[in-house]
Structure 1
Amino acid sequence: MADLRLIDLTVTPAGADRPVVACVDLDVPAGQRVLLVGPSGAGKSTVLRALAGLLEDDVDARGEVLLDGRPARPGEVGLLLQDPLDTVVAATAGRDTAFGPENAGLPREEVWRRVARAHAAARYAAGRDRDVATLSGGERQRLALAGVLAAQPSVLLLDEPTSMLDAPTAAQVRGAVLEAAAGRTLVVVDHDLAGWAPHVDRVLVLGRGGRLVADGAPGRVFAGSRSLLADGLWLPGAQAPAPVDVPAGLLAPQLAVPEAATGGALLTGRGLGLRRRRRSLRPVPPATVLREVDVELAAGSATALTGPSGSGKSSLLAVLAGLARPTGELTAAPGLAGGLAPQPWRWRSRELAARLAWVPQFPEHTFVRATVREEVAATPLALGRAEARGEQLLELLGLAHRADVNPFRLSGGEQRRLALAGALAAGPAVLLADEPSVGQDRGTWAVVAGLLAAAAREGVAVGVSSHDERLLGVLDGPVVALRAGTRVVGAAA
């Protein structure tokens, strides 16, 4: 076990005029379990990186970080990053998890014993020979957690370890984390206060200015519920906020699609299947991620894709977005195709961008510009469309004050909102959003929910993959439930 201390930590990103974390003093006794919460962009991930000694070189960081009164040694602190892609170091799951124990110089037999135990503890069940590139976001999140557990650090720092998981799996992983944390110091960042509060000794709240505004036992901290709700925290038992009102016309499609006037299907899939292949120096068998899926996306409606982690939701969204060639038939309505081939996967990137917008599970995959303002204007500018709605979207999504920041400097929740703003800015006729509410506080969640619902009202065909029951309740449209890559018969609403 190890004691953690932060002394007057202040962190200012390169080029920023104000810190993201300001004057934080913190003492975490050895073996204590701590939940670190706060609104999106409050600096929670930055605090974890500081505790792990992994702040970027070009930030202005002041203060001290001590482990048992001294700087931490390699391997003593295990950090699970918010984006599991940032931790991938090997092509296969087993090799990826083995990286830490191998670098510690452990015998081969012990390395693979640890890999097996870590996979079991993290509820990772896709197999150690599975190609990491073919894993779903939730599976990658569990694999990343396994990599941290395999190193057996004395301190565990976990950044949203269950954010991409369905509720039953999240509960299993949370239990596994708590079991693995026995005898270790644990600091968890998460928006799910209800899930973690019964299991932690202490709750720390960072305010919007990156300052510590509350510290104490869960019950005592939650007693100040009114101010915490105002700060956007998902307090246990509190109802979801009402989606924000979006100005009429802001999200109207720029492409006139005749079928939209009658609420007709803009995309229709029949018997869709997908096998993922990966080029490699050694033979890698393809992974079948979709089988015989039927789906329709209608104008003016929000269709939900649901199912446990690894069920194929993200793969189906990618197929609908024209980013992967499926088996079966995927056809666009004649008005949407506009004289092009009816199969979206045949369209060029510019033709896709003029019709469809895709918000991936890992939002940074869409970033192509150096600032937030340039990013949200990139697609409208490329298509020769008006850029004005981008500024309005940044304002609505709470990103206007970050307009001159590099997108990769944003928090995970902010990056997700930026990807949504960039997708909507060009006025698509079809919007495909993968887990758009992950990492959002109450306030930013209400904006995301409001934008998705408003897009459907404006005649956009919306497809959303999500584990968020609150969001699905707001969208209240057809449901396509998947399990193991196959649609569950009778699950559609």
Structure 2
Amino acid sequence: MRPGGEGSGTTRTGAAHAELRGFGWRPLGRREEVISGLDLSFSAGQFVLLAGGSGAGKSTVLRALAGLLGEAVPGEQTGTVEVSAASGMLLQNPADSLVAATIGREVAFGPENLALPRDEIWQRVHECLSQVGLAYDASRSTSALSGGELQRLALAGVLAIRPGLLLLDEPTSMLDDDTADQVRRCVVDAARATGATTVVVEHRIGPWLPHCDRVVVLERGQVVADTTPSAFTAEHTPRMLNAGVWMPGAPDPTPVAVDPGWVTPDRPGSALQAESLQVDLSVRSLQGNVSHRALDGATTALQPGELTSFVGPSGAGKSTLLAAFAGMLRPSGGAITGAEPPFARRRSKDLAVAAGFVPQNPEHGFLRTTVRDEVACTATQLGRSVDVDGLLALMRLDHLAGANPFQLSGGEQRRLAVLAALAHRPGVVLLDEPTVGQDRHTWAAVTGWALAARDAGATVAVATHDHSLVELSDTVIQLKNGQAVG
């Protein structure tokens, strides 16, 4: 979220003081408030980690501070929100903030709307792209970027306006370790250099703790801990683990045992092979549509009864390979064999019978206006029974059965997408970053589903940066520059 149309002519500087008093929020279509009577303030110049379980209200607080609620996000607000300086927010889904066709124009958007001199605008563009590790030319098409690269681009756009209040929602959740470290250093350096008040939401909190002045933990929209990082780990670890917070040094949770009847396919999954696979994606540019090679001779295989993880840096081709296996993308060279007819040539209903695909952006798959109907949608179309209530309880979404899928938090949407794509029990299960935005409890549910499907004979593959999920895999495929290298 960046400023637009204000034409101030000056750069906004100075750390912001921010305060919520008696704050409450009820999303459109929900009967009850997700946050009620919240009092919370942030002192100028503080670096604050805002933690809590999935659905605790963290993203709602950030959106309130950014001024997004009630306009960009419909609903009813109570209480007051006061912020003393301009804010910039990195959204949980970076694609939601895209406004330009090229990465240079994207980063320039905020400074342009501050009416800065052209030389200063483009100096900031190049500096911020370098800070977040996007080594592409400024004319690179935004549609040619991976999800992780879009996350870094969105961060560059926020940093370019040098806000007094810097709001970051899961800024490293879709990044590999090296890139996440770089982005984290970039955020910390920018916050310290500008003095901006900084509020970071992240589920994997350990790497952020050394950089924070304060840790605030939310549970069901209320503050349950507000302390220093050292006191937080020393005094609150048992309670935080119970609340689902990923505490540093704690062992991974045990995946939930999922009823085999919920995941067992009608027939075992297919053995699928990618042979010298090439995929060219058409992307927008200032010169019109151009082709970008996302996979360049990738060769690998998926086996029934196995969980395979695709790993590698952002932009390596993980999501493209997963989508190609799912029949979502047709190869421009090579082939995917093992299913007849090939998935890419099947009609949607025939494809759904065989394969379930969860995209990196969960909103792209939603078709219904309630969570309950979304879970039942595909199974109903295929004439298959589904225990909607049981599945919602498993994924801790039962209290949201009547909610609109587009009004859920990012983590809730991702769990709903898993159920919507897989409740009909397909033999091939393909998941793109399924554990992003999950707390310990919901991570255990998502991974439990993937493992149960594998054990029931399904062919299961994930694209992920989650080391905890990778450790549970039977096979790990490393991708680099569009090729499977190990």
Structure 1 residue 144 corresponds to structure 2 residue 149: no
Instruction: Report the equivalent of 1:217.
Output: 228
- Structure 1 pair 155/279, CA: closer, same or farther in 2 (3 Å)? closer
Cα deviation code 1:319-350 (max 9, x no counterpart)? 111111113443443xx53xxx3x22111211
Give yes or no for contact 1:332–1:344 (8 Å, CA) kept in 2. no
* Match of residue 434, structure 1, among 432, 435, 446: 432
Q: Distance in 1 between matches of 2:352 and 2:231?
A: 50
SS at structure 2 position matched to 1:241: coil
Q: Distance in 1 between matches of 2:337 and 2:355?
A: 11
Give yes or no for contact 1:121–1:180 (8 Å, CA) kept in 2. no
Instruction: Report the equivalent of 1:178.
Output: 188
Structure 1 residue 163 corresponds to structure 2 residue 173: yes
1:372-383 to 2 correspondence within 5 Å?
Answer: 372-383=371-382
**Larger CA deviation: 164-173 vs 125-134:** 125-134
Instruction: Report the equivalent of 1:393.
Output: 391
Instruction: Report the equivalent of 2:358.
Output: 359
Q: Offset at 1:284?
A: 4.0
Cα deviation code 1:227-276 (max 9, x no counterpart)? 1110000001001010011112220113x25xx5xxxx521110001111
Q: Offset at 1:468?
A: 0.6
Q: Distance in 1 between matches of 2:171 and 2:50?
A: 13
SS at structure 1 position matched to 2:461: strand
* Match of residue 40, structure 2, among 23, 26, 49: 26
Q: Distance in 2 between matches of 1:18 and 1:279?
A: 42
The one-letter code matched in structure 1 to 2:100 is A
Unaligned regions of 5+ residues in structure 1, if any? none
Give yes or no for contact 2:278–2:334 (8 Å, CA) kept in 1. no
1:275-424 to 2 correspondence within 5 Å?
Answer: 275-278=280-283, 282-333=287-338, 336-337=339-340, 341=341, 343-386=342-385, 388-424=386-422
Cα deviation code 1:419-442 (max 9, x no counterpart)? 001111111110110010000000
Q: Distance in 1 between matches of 2:19 and 2:288?
A: 48
Give yes or no for contact 1:234–1:441 (8 Å, CA) kept in 2. yes
The one-letter code matched in structure 2 to 1:466 is T
The one-letter code matched in structure 1 to 2:350 is E
Q: Distance in 1 between matches of 2:439 and 2:153?
A: 25
- Structure 1 pair 477/432, CA: closer, same or farther in 2 (3 Å)? same
Instruction: Report the equivalent of 2:77.
Output: 61
Q: Distance in 2 between matches of 1:126 and 1:301?
A: 37
Instruction: Report the equivalent of 1:114.
Output: 124
The one-letter code matched in structure 2 to 1:191 is H
Cα deviation code 1:78-102 (max 9, x no counterpart)? 0111000110001111111111111
Cα deviation code 1:117-167 (max 9, x no counterpart)? 111122222332111112100000000000101111111000010000011
The one-letter code matched in structure 1 to 2:331 is P
Give yes or no for contact 1:390–1:422 (8 Å, CA) kept in 2. no
Give yes or no for contact 1:320–1:330 (8 Å, CA) kept in 2. no
Identity %: 48
Cα deviation code 1:379-426 (max 9, x no counterpart)? 11122222x233322110011110110000000000000000111111
Q: Distance in 2 between matches of 1:191 and 1:422?
A: 24
Give yes or no for contact 1:330–1:344 (8 Å, CA) kept in 2. no
- Structure 1 pair 281/190, CA: closer, same or farther in 2 (3 Å)? closer
C-alpha root-mean-square deviation of aligned residues, in Å?
1.4
Give yes or no for contact 2:101–2:284 (8 Å, CA) kept in 1. no
Cα deviation code 1:154-181 (max 9, x no counterpart)? 1100001000001111011000000111
Structure 1 residue 49 corresponds to structure 2 residue 63: yes
Q: Distance in 1 between matches of 2:365 and 2:60?
A: 23
Q: Distance in 2 between matches of 1:281 and 1:118?
A: 22
Give yes or no for contact 1:4–1:66 (8 Å, CA) kept in 2. yes
Instruction: Report the equivalent of 2:4.
Output: none
Query: How many residues were matched structurally?
Result: 467
Instruction: Report the equivalent of 2:238.
Output: 226
* Match of residue 451, structure 1, among 449, 466, 475: 449
SS at structure 2 position matched to 1:143: helix
Q: Distance in 2 between matches of 1:8 and 1:141?
A: 32
Instruction: Report the equivalent of 2:201.
Output: 189
Structure 1 residue 483 corresponds to structure 2 residue 472: no
Give yes or no for contact 1:81–1:158 (8 Å, CA) kept in 2. yes
The one-letter code matched in structure 1 to 2:260 is A
Cα deviation code 1:9-43 (max 9, x no counterpart)? 11111232322112221221111100000000011
Q: Offset at 1:356?
A: 0.8
The one-letter code matched in structure 1 to 2:104 is G
SS at structure 2 position matched to 1:34: strand
Q: Distance in 2 between matches of 1:281 and 1:122?
A: 23
Q: Offset at 1:281?
A: 7.2
Q: Distance in 2 between matches of 1:311 and 1:294?
A: 14
Q: Distance in 2 between matches of 1:307 and 1:128?
A: 24
The one-letter code matched in structure 2 to 1:486 is Q
The one-letter code matched in structure 2 to 1:48 is L
Instruction: Report the equivalent of 1:153.
Output: 163
The one-letter code matched in structure 1 to 2:475 is P
The one-letter code matched in structure 2 to 1:307 is G
The one-letter code matched in structure 1 to 2:468 is R
Normalised TM-score (structure 2): 0.93
Q: Distance in 2 between matches of 1:21 and 1:168?
A: 35
SS at structure 2 position matched to 1:181: helix
SS at structure 2 position matched to 1:2: coil
Normalised TM-score (structure 1): 0.92
The one-letter code matched in structure 2 to 1:266 is A
Q: Distance in 2 between matches of 1:27 and 1:85?
A: 29
